[in-house]
Amino acid sequence: MVRKSVKIAYIVNDKARKVAYKKRCKGLIKKVNELSILCDVEACAIIYGEYSSQPEVWPSSSKAQDVITRFQMMPESEQKKKILNQESYLIERLHKITEKLDKQVKRNREEELTQIMLKSLSIRCIKDLELKDLDDLGWIINRNMKEIEWRKNKLKSVDNNSKLAQETPKSSAEATPPVQVTALAANPSIHEKN
C-alpha cells in the first residue's frame, strides 16, 4: 500500500500532534544514528518539545556536549560555512532557477533564429525582419560559419594524418560531401532595409 503524502502544516488536534511528535522524534533519532554509523561521523540530536519536561538527547548528554563543544571550538568562518537558513536557501534556489530560465530563453532565441536563417536561406526572403532580428541572425550565421570552419579544419587534419600514416585508403574527410555556405551579405534584400 502506498503512503499518502502528508500535508506539512501545524496539527491542530492535540492527541494527533502528540502522536506525530513521538513518531517523528523517534524517526529523526533513528536517522541521526544511521548517519553516524554509515558515514562514521560524530552527530547528536537535541529535541525540545512541549510533551516532555526534559529535552530528548541522542546519544547521551555527555556525548552531545562533546560534539557541541567541538563545533564551538572551530573558527567562526568554518562554523557558518555550511549553515543554511530558510531565507538563504530560497535566495540560492531562486538564483539557480533564474540562471536556468535565462539559459533556456537564450536557447529558445537561438533556435528561433536558426529557423529564421534556414527559412531565409531556402526562400531568400528576410526583408520583413527588424534590425534587431537581422543583427541576431548575423550573429547566428557567424557562429555557424565558425563551427563549419572548425569542422572543415578538423577533417583536413584527420585527412592529412591518415595520408601520412597510409593506413586507410579513404579518410572520413573524403567521404564527407563538401559543405556549401551561402552568405546572407550577398543577398540584396538585406540592403533594401537600409
* pLDDT tens sequence across 118-140: 776 666 566 677 788 778 878 88
Say yes or no: 140 and 180 in one domain.
Answer: yes
In a domain, 82, yes or no: no
Residues with Cβ < 8 Å from 48, sequence gap 6 or more?
Answer: 55
Do 137 and 116 form a contact (C-beta atoms < 8 A)?
A: yes
Which domain range does residue 46 map to?
A: 14-74
User: Quick check: pTM over 0.75?
Assistant: no
Under DSSP, the state recorded for 137 is H
In a domain, 161, yes or no: yes
* Domains held by the chain: number: 2
Residues with Cβ < 8 Å from 21, sequence gap 6 or more?
Answer: 49, 51
Mean pLDDT over 23-44 rounds to: 94
pLDDT at 38: 95
In a domain, 95, yes or no: yes
* pLDDT tens sequence across 151-165: 899 888 888 777 766
* pLDDT tens sequence across 52-74: 888 999 999 999 999 999 989 98
Is the pLDDT assigned to residue 188 strictly greater than 50? no
Q: For the chain, what is the mean pLDDT? A: 80
Query: What b/e readout covers 163-172, taking b as 16+ CB neighbours within 10 angstroms?
Result: eeeeeeeebe
Domain boundary among the residues 22, 40, 74 is at: 74
* pLDDT tens sequence across 87-99: 888 898 999 999 9
Give the highest mean pLDDT range of 81-90, 115-124, 166-175.
81-90
| Cα gap 48→56, rounded to integer Å | 7
